[in-house]
Structure 1
Amino acid sequence: MYEPHRSKTGRTTNLVSCIVATVFLLFLAARIAVVYFLLFKPKDPKIAVDAVQFPTFSVANGTVDFTFLQYVTVSNPNRDAFTHYGNSLQLAYSDAPVGFIFILQ
C-alpha cells in the first residue's frame, strides 16, 4: 500500500501546542492561588477554653474515676464558613494515653 509522506511539522506543531497549553494552565493555576491567598488570607480558627469542671472525682484502690467537662469557644476569623469533623479528646498521663473520646456534633 502506498502511504503519503507525512512531514514532521504536523507532529511538532501538536507537541508545541500541548506544551503551550500546559504552561498556560500552570500559569493560570498559580495566578488563581495567589489571588486567593491575597484576597481571602485564610487563617486558623481561634479556639479558647472557657471553663473546665470536674463534677465527680474519686480515688479508690489506686484508681482514679472522674467526669471531665470542658467548655470551649470556636471563632472563625475567615470570611467563609468552615466545618469540622472527626473531633476527639485524648487524656494523657506521663505521655501515656489513659483516656480517649470522640466528640459528637
Structure 2
Amino acid sequence: MAALNRKRRNICIAVLLSLIVLVILILILAFTVFKPKQPTITVDSVSLLDLNISLNAARFGVDLNLTLIVQLTVENPNKVAFQHSDGTAVVSYRGEEVAEAPIPSGRLSPDGTEKMNLTLTMMADRLLAKSELFSDVIAGELPISTFARLAGKMTVIGVFKIRVVALSSCDLTIDIRNRSVEDQRCEYRTKL
C-alpha cells in the first residue's frame, strides 16, 4: 500500500513538474520568439492623378479639384497574424480635413506584407473657408498633409491579445505649375 501511494505521489509530482516546465516554456516563447513587434504602415508614394484650378481674381477665389493616389505598404514583422479593422487615410490642407478614403479591414499573415492604392479626392467646398488658398495657388505651391491610421490586434499563442495602432503621416507640397508632388517628408509611428 505504501509503495502504491509513493508511486501515485511520484506520478503527481512528475505531472506537476511537466506542467510547470510547459508553462515556463510557453512564457519564454511568448516573450521572445512571439514577442510582438510593431506593424508599420508606410507611404510608398503620393502621385497626382488630377488637378484642375480656376482663379476668380475679382473675388480672390479659387475653384480647385485635386485627386491623389497614395500607395501604402502595411508590414507585419511578427510570427503571428495581425488582424486589423477598417482604417482611414486623410488629406488635410492647413489643418482642415479635405479628403478621406477608407482602408478596408483585413488580416496580414505572419511576416506578411500588403500593398494598397488609395484614391483621395479633395472636397473643394471644404477649402472655401481657407483664406490662404488663393495666395498658395498664386505662389504655385499647395502644402498638404496625409495621415493614415490602422488599428488591430495580434493573438499570441491563442491567449495573449495585444492591441496595436500603426500610424503614418506625410507633409508634402503640390507644385501647381509642374503638376507634381514635391518635398515629401513622412513619419511612421506605432502604438502597442
Q: TM-score, normalised by structure 1?
A: 0.57
Identify the residue that residue 43 of structure 1 maps to in structure 2.
37
Identity %: 30
Identify the residue that residue 54 of structure 1 maps to in structure 2.
48
Q: Decide whether the 8 Å contact of 2:49 with 2:68 is kept in 1.
A: yes
Task: Name which one, 1 or 2, has greater alpha-carbon Rg.
Answer: 1
The structural deviation recorded for 1:101 is: 2.4
Structure (1 or 2) with the greater helix fraction: 1
Identify the residue that residue 102 of structure 1 maps to in structure 2.
102
- What is the aligned residue count? 75
Structure (1 or 2) with the greater strand fraction: 2
Secondary structure at the residue paired with 2:82?
coil
RCO (CA 8 Å, sep 6+): is it higher in 1 or 2? 2
- Alignment RMSD (CA, Å): 2.5
* Structure 1: 5+ residue stretches without partners: 1-30
The structural deviation recorded for 1:81 is: 0.9
The structural deviation recorded for 1:39 is: 4.0
Partner deviation per Cα, 1:32-63 (whole Å, 9 max, x = no partner): xx643344220111222222111111112412
Of 47-56 and 35-44, deviating more is 35-44
* Distance of 2:44 and 2:101 partners within structure 1: 20
Q: Decide whether the 8 Å contact of 2:33 with 2:79 is kept in 1.
A: no
Letter of the 1:40 partner, please give it.
Answer: F
* Structure 2: 5+ residue stretches without partners: 1-23, 56-61, 106-192
**Structure 1 residues 13-24: aligned runs within 5 Å:** none
Secondary structure at the residue paired with 1:83?
strand
**Structure 1 residues 1-105: aligned runs within 5 Å:** 35=28, 36-61=30-55, 62-104=62-104
* Distance of 1:76 and 1:104 partners within structure 2: 16
